[in-house]
């Protein structure tokens, strides 16, 4: 028994050390810094003050933007991804399925930076707006708006949503659908009563993944929002790379982590209950 | 349904098409097409900074993926027999590692390492036998690999553990009953069953690191990864060179994907 | 007599320069035609090391990393430097001095050369982030030929930390084609008022507290450098009111001005000149109330990984003939009399590069305290996240 304990410890040691040095330590430092003060030329000087937390209201707009656009982006991703995943899992021949699936991931292999840049061009005055103008549909300003950021978000994260839903739908026992239709149930009813509930774990996983990534998003609003659509991630980068206020930046980071912990825990709680206590409704 | 799918694929591919199209632009500007040319591919390939950035990215992605896969698999296996507080602590750490946004990881790692280095470097300099040769800890490869590996390792643990949960434990017991050594059992029974999970974890870890911008942006120090290079090129004013780099990365990834698929198919037939 | 070099037109000069850069004419032809030949031959004997003799090829390493500003360097000059020395130049572009400072403060920037603005240098010295320059490695730097007004800030407590690159002003560019009968704005008050009315959704401001807050302060007639809380509060209110009307907050406004997406933007001299050169309908305006006058410098950060290459590059870019080519590209005035001696008169008489005295006298140099003031930094951050 002793030997086995030793082996277990040895196997856990590297991962444990890694977590301690690169996760626990940095988070503790951020926590400690969040009670400090900004140095004269920026940076951090030790102190013990709650001012940084009291000042969080100054970033309320960024928090609000994030808390609106992250769930909204997740929802739009879901609405676009679900029919596609359904099509791929239930309406394509197995031969084409692999190819079509790979085609969903391929855009993922180009850097999100370059893909977002393509959207700067497409949404800029010489892109889609000029096309719309030529068609006599007006000349709307798209770039540097929340709309542009949402397009970028959907574009960037769609594959992450398609996959889990596809996996859930593909696993679905087709006999259930047959049984449902044999019992005289119309297709929409089969969908609502059989397909949709059984695909919920995939939906939950996809939403979780996309939502978590969106809460910390920086690049897409930075590139497609023109500095006007600010996520909390942008506020954080700004605090560290422009105004060099490490103490306040740490407080914002702590607040972001807390908001995420709460929302994710609440989300898991509700989806678990909703999905009837199934355990597979989670990231893990 | 088909039309819908087609529309989604168009949405996914129009920007990619534009990137690829402009990579063949003869002109300097990324927004006006001025004739066909492959010069930007030559430029990108002969640009030492692009090649440096690519090497850095590949080194970091490979190292962090290998380490994360190794340590993650070890931890996942060990956690099988761990209960109680230790298990709870690990579960919490994995959960936090996956959930804390990359931007917070990047910033937290930066300020923690800068603080620790500021504190350690004078000590190192004082105790080092050769006063001038004392090593100076700075941000760079080490911090990049460690920060990327963290998230990757959590992913690997999750994936491998899920695979193990679906594993047939009776096989392991049978193997032990038949007198196989623990190592033999691992190699011949456990490993083949969890291997797809390990491979998936490795590929995810590699992709994550290779594509990551935000963590690297903070912890890269003087190193430049490919996404950082691309970011600074966009700020410098985009030339089609960036499009060429993107198109090449895409092309190589596609080739690897096709190759991997072919190998897997063959493996499946052989098995 | 019609071909007198002195009267070489700007277009002709630029055309010749372009042909030279493309390699379709020889250097000798170029120098001969443009009249730079005489100047260079005089300088060539007067200034040792003009042709990089101080650093034989290959001895400086194969790369040099530069941190600088958008639309500020002629890529052809970097290519020429690489051809001459074997060191390739990696240019990193920043949107504000704050951003540069933040990167250096976090450590391990990896830069060899950076281009700080006058008011930042004392902060870099205080923070021990900048290397005192070894002037013996910069034979092309001739302190006597620089206008002290634009060179002094590089010297702190008697030590030279930075040598001048060029100077300029911060005004705004406006696309007059979009005025629609309105008079061209000439003041910061008009700039902000138009932003919130006729030009709503079409104006850009810098992602940089110094200029954006500074020019908002100018709306009320306060000092560009004000750190007075009451004055800053007024500026903040103006900025927050204007924010919904902005096209973007970004220090690289050229692409948006060129594409027509933006009609007006806070701008630096050279960008104004570059835009006006290519699109004459875009004018560069200095607000009558004043604004910023600045001077940029070359400097080397502490711990630069390629120190020799850094000196070689600075020295190369300070050579008057190279600097003249830089000016032809970026359109910022230089404080080096040797360069002005060989610039075409059209450039020296350009009202964008050399504004009228009354406009110029209203301008202020940025102050060190403006850069480091925590309230201004936080105000800008609040404005952006509002």
What is the C-alpha to C-alpha distance for residues B67 and A99, in angstroms, rounded to an integer? 32
- Number of structural domains in chain C: 2
Give the other-Cβ count within 10 Å of B122's Cβ. 10
Is residue C28 assigned to a domain? no
> pLDDT over 90 for what percent of chain B?
50
Contact B223 C110 (CB under 8 A): yes
Q: Is the pLDDT of residue C33 over 60?
A: no
Give me the mean pLDDT over the C55-72 stretch. 82
Where would I find the beta strands (DSSP E) of C130-161? 155-156, 159-160
Residue for token pair 């629609």: C180
Nearest-Cα residue of chain C relative to residue B234: C93
Is residue A6 assigned to a domain? no
Mean pLDDT estimate for chain B: 88
Per-residue pLDDT tens for B103-125? 999 999 999 999 999 899 889 88
The closest alpha carbon to A12, from C202, B5, B115, B89, belongs to B89
CATH number at residue B66: 1.10.3720.10
**Which range has the worst mean pLDDT, A17-26, A124-133, C67-76?**
A124-133
Residue A278's pLDDT is what? 47
Contact A257 B104 (CB under 8 A): yes
Question: Rounded to an integer, what is the distance from CA A39 to the centroid of its chain?
Answer: 34
Residue A181's pLDDT is what? 82
CATH number at residue A94: 1.10.3720.10
> DSSP 3-state assignment of C264?
strand
Is residue A76 assigned to a domain? yes
A65, A230 Cβ separation under 8 angstroms = yes
Q: Between B159 and C28, whose confidence is greater?
A: B159
C227 and C362 in one domain?
Answer: yes
The closest alpha carbon to B1, from C85, C191, A90, belongs to A90
Per-residue pLDDT tens for B126-174? 888 876 777 788 899 999 999 999 999 999 999 899 888 877 778 888 8
Per-residue pLDDT tens for C353-364? 999 999 999 999
Residue B254's pLDDT is what? 84
Residue A263's pLDDT is what? 86
Q: Is the pLDDT of residue C50 over 70?
A: no
Query: Could you tell me the pLDDT band of residue C49, with boundaries at 50, 70 and 90?
Result: very low
User: Which residue in A118, A216, A223 is closest to B102 by CB distance?
Assistant: A216
C212 and C360 in one domain?
Answer: yes
Q: For helices A60-90 and B2-23, give the axis angle rounded to 10 degrees.
A: 120
Per-residue pLDDT tens for C242-278? 999 999 999 999 999 998 999 999 999 999 999 999 9
- Pairing mode of beta strands C203-205, C155-156: unpaired
Compute the CA torsion angle C81, C83, C89, C91 (nearest 10 deg): 70
Query: Could you tell me the pLDDT band of residue A283, with boundaries at 50, 70 and 90?
Result: very low
Is residue B248 assigned to a domain? no
**Which range has the worst mean pLDDT, A63-77, A122-136, C160-174?**
A122-136
C254 and C184 in one domain?
Answer: yes
Give me the mean pLDDT over the B215-243 stretch. 90
- Which structural domain range is residue C86 located in? 53-167+294-348
Q: Between A275 and C198, whose confidence is greater?
A: C198
Q: Which chains are adjacent to chain B, needing at least 3 Cβ pairs under 8 Å?
A: A, C
Q: How many CA atoms lie within 13 A of A201 on its CB side?
A: 16
In the 8-state DSSP scheme, what is residue A124?
S
Residue A136's pLDDT is what? 87
Is residue B254 assigned to a domain? no
Q: Is the pLDDT of residue C13 over 70?
A: no
Q: Is the pLDDT of residue A71 over 50?
A: yes
C209 and C192 in one domain?
Answer: yes
C364 and C247 in one domain?
Answer: yes
Q: Is the pLDDT of residue B68 over 50?
A: yes
Q: Is the pLDDT of residue B231 over 80?
A: yes
C205 and C96 in one domain?
Answer: no
The closest alpha carbon to B122, from B140, B142, B112, B137, belongs to B137
Q: Is the dihedral of CA B59, B60, B61, B67 positive or negative?
A: positive
In this complex, is the C-beta atom of A117 within 8 Å of any C-beta atom belonging to chain B? yes
C223 and C75 in one domain?
Answer: no
C186 and C125 in one domain?
Answer: no
Give me the mean pLDDT over the C37-62 stretch. 49
User: Which residue in A29, A119, A158 is closest to B15 by CB distance?
Assistant: A119
CATH number at residue C76: 3.40.190.10
In this complex, is the C-beta atom of A110 within 8 Å of any C-beta atom belonging to chain B? yes
Distances B178 to B174, B184, C166 between C-alpha atoms, Å: 6, 11, 82
B213, B220 Cβ separation under 8 angstroms = no
Where would I find the beta strands (DSSP E) of C109-254? 113-114, 155-156, 159-160, 162-175, 203-205, 246-249
Contact C62 B48 (CB under 8 A): yes
Residue C336's pLDDT is what? 96
Q: Is the pLDDT of residue C176 over 50?
A: yes
Query: Could you tell me the pLDDT band of residue C295, with boundaries at 50, 70 and 90?
Result: very high
Residue C111's pLDDT is what? 95
Best mutation target, C66, C75, C108, C307, to test chain B (most B CBs within 10 A): C108
Q: Is the pLDDT of residue A105 over 90?
A: no
The C-alpha angle with vertex A173 and arms to A168 and A175, in degrees rounded to 5, equals: 150
Q: Which residues of B touch C73 (CB under 8 A)?
A: none
Q: Is the pLDDT of residue C40 over 60?
A: no
In this complex, is the C-beta atom of A57 within 8 Å of any C-beta atom belonging to chain C? no
- Which structural domain range is residue A136 located in? 12-274
Residue A284's pLDDT is what? 37
Residue A99's pLDDT is what? 85
- Number of structural domains in chain B: 1
Q: Between C320 and A277, whose confidence is greater?
A: C320
C355 and C234 in one domain?
Answer: yes
Largest CA-CA distance found in chain C, in angstroms, rounded: 63
Contacts of B16 (CB under 8 A, 6+ apart): A106, A107, A110, A115, A118, B250
Give me the mean pLDDT over the A94-104 stretch. 86
Give me the mean pLDDT over the C226-247 stretch. 97
In this complex, is the C-beta atom of C240 within 8 Å of any C-beta atom belonging to chain A? no
Q: Is the pLDDT of residue B14 over 80?
A: yes
Which of C14-23, C254-263, C307-316 holds the top average pLDDT? C307-316
Compute the CA torsion angle A276, A280, A281, A283 (nearest 10 deg): 160
Give me the mean pLDDT over the A216-226 stretch. 94
Residue B238's pLDDT is what? 74
What is the C-alpha to C-alpha distance for residues B221 and C269, in angstroms, rounded to an integer? 33
Residue A108's pLDDT is what? 80
Give me the mean pLDDT over the B221-229 stretch. 92
Is residue A134 assigned to a domain? yes
Give me the mean pLDDT over the C71-92 stretch. 94
- Which structural domain range is residue B166 located in? 49-237
**Exposed/middle/buried for residue B255 (C-beta within 10 Å: 0-12, 13-18, 19+):** exposed
Model ipTM value: 0.89
C160, C135 Cβ separation under 8 angstroms = yes
C244 and C342 in one domain?
Answer: no
- Number of structural domains in chain A: 1
Is residue B260 assigned to a domain? no
In this complex, is the C-beta atom of A64 within 8 Å of any C-beta atom belonging to chain C? no
C356 and C225 in one domain?
Answer: yes
Residue C47's pLDDT is what? 42
Contact A227 C201 (CB under 8 A): no
Is residue C10 assigned to a domain? no
Instruction: Give pTM, 2 decimals.
Output: 0.87
């Amino acid at each position: 028994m002793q030997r086995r304990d030793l082996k277990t410890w040895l196997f856990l040691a590297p991962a444990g050390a890694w977590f301690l040095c690169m996760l626990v330590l940095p988070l503790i430092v951020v926590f400690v810094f969040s009670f400090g003060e900004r140095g004269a030329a920026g940076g951090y000087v030790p102190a013990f003050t709650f001012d940084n937390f009291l000042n969080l209201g100054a970033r309320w707009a960024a928090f609000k933007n994030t808390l609106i656009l992250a769930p909204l982006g997740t929802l739009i991703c879901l609405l676009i991804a679900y029919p596609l995943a359904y099509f791929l899992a239930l309406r394509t021949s197995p031969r084409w399925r692999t190819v079509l699936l790979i085609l969903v991931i391929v855009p993922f292999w180009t850097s999100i930076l370059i893909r977002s840049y393509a959207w700067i061009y497409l949404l800029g005055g010489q892109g889609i707006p000029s096309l719309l103008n030529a068609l006599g549909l007006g000349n709307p300003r798209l770039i540097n708006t929340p709309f542009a950021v949402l397009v970028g978000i959907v574009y960037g994260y769609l594959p992450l949503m398609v996959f889990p839903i596809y996996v859930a739908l593909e696993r679905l026992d087709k006999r259930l659908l047959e049984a449902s239709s044999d019992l005289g149930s119309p297709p929409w009813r089969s969908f609502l009563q059989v397909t949709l509930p059984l695909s919920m774990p995939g939906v939950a996983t996809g939403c979780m993944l996309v939502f978590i990534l969106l809460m910390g998003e920086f690049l897409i609003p930075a590139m497609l929002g023109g500095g006007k659509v600010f996520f909390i991630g942008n506020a954080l980068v700004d605090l560290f790379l422009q105004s060099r206020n490490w103490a306040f930046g740490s407080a914002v980071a702590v607040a972001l982590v807390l908001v995420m912990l709460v929302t994710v825990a609440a989300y898991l709680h509700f989806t678990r209950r909703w999905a009837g206590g199934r355990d597979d409704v989670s990231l893990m | 349904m088909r039309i819908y799918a087609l529309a989604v694929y168009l949405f996914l591919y129009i920007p990619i098409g534009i990137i690829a199209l402009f990579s063949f632009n003869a002109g300097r500007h990324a927004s006006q097409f001025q004739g066909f040319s492959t010069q930007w591919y030559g430029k990108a390939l002969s640009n030492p900074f692009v090649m440096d950035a690519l090497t850095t990215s590949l080194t970091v992605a490979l190292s962090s993926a290998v380490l994360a896969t190794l340590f993650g698999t070890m931890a996942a296996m060990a956690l099988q027999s761990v209960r109680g507080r230790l298990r709870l602590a690990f579960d919490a750490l994995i959960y936090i590692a996956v959930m804390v946004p990359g931007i917070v990881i990047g910033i937290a790692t930066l300020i923690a390492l800068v603080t620790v280095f500021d504190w350690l470097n004078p000590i190192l300099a004082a105790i080092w036998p050769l006063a001038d040769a004392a090593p100076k800890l700075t941000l760079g490869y080490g911090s990049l690999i460690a920060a990327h590996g963290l998230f990757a390792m959590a992913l690997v643990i999750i994936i491998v553990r899920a695979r193990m949960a679906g594993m047939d434990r009776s096989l392991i017991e049978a193997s032990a009953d038949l007198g196989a050594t623990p190592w033999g059992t691992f190699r011949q029974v456990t490993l083949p069953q969890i291997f797809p999970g390990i491979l998936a974890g490795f590929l995810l870890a590699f992709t994550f690191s290779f594509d990551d911008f935000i963590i690297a942006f903070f912890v890269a120090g003087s190193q430049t990864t490919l996404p950082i290079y691309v970011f600074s090129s966009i700020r410098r004013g985009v030339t089609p060179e960036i499009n060429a780099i993107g198109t090449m990365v895409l092309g190589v990834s596609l080739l690897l994907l096709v190759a991997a698929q072919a190998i897997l198919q063959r493996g499946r037939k052989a098995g | 007599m019609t071909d007198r070099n002195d009267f070489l037109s700007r277009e002709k000069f630029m055309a010749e320069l372009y042909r030279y850069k493309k390699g379709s004419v020889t250097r000798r032809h170029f120098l001969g035609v443009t009249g730079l030949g005489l100047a260079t031959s005089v300088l060539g004997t007067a200034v040792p090391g003009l042709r990089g003799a101080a650093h034989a090829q290959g001895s400086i390493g194969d790369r040099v990393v530069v941190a600088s500003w958008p639309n500020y360097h002629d890529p052809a000059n970097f290519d020429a430097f690489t051809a001459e020395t074997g060191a390739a130049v990696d240019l990193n572009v920043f949107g504000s001095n704050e951003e540069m400072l933040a990167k250096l403060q976090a450590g391990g920037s990896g830069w060899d050369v950076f281009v700080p603005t006058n008011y930042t240098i004392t902060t870099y010295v205080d923070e021990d982030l900048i290397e005192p320059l070894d002037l013996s490695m910069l034979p092309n730097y001739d302190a006597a030929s620089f206008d002290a007004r634009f060179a002094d800030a590089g010297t702190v407590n008697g030590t030279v930390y930075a040598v001048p690159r060029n100077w300029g002003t911060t005004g705004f560019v406006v696309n007059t084609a979009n005025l629609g009968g309105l008079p061209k704005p000439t003041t910061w008050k008009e700039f902000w008022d138009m932003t919130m009315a006729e030009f709503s959704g079409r104006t850009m401001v810098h992602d940089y507290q110094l200029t954006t807050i500074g020019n908002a302060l100018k709306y009320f007639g306060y000092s560009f450098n004000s750190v007075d809380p009451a004055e800053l509060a007024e500026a903040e209110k103006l900025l927050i009111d204007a924010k919904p009307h902005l096209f973007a907050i970004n220090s690289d406004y050229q692409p948006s001005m060129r594409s027509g997406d933006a009609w007006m933007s806070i701008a630096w001299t050279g960008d104004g000149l570059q835009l006006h050169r290519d699109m004459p309908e875009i004018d560069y305006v200095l607000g009558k109330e004043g604004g910023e006058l600045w001077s940029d410098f070359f400097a080397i950060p502490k711990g630069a990984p390629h120190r020799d290459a850094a000196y070689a590059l600075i020295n190369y870019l300070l050579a008057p003939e190279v600097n003249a080519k830089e000016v032809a590209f970026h359109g910022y005035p230089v404080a080096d009399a040797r360069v002005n001696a060989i610039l075409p008169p059209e450039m020296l008489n350009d009202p964008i590069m050399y504004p009228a005295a009354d406009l110029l006298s209203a301008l202020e140099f940025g102050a060190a305290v403006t850069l480091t003031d925590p309230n201004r930094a936080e105000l800008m951050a609040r404005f952006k996240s509002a």
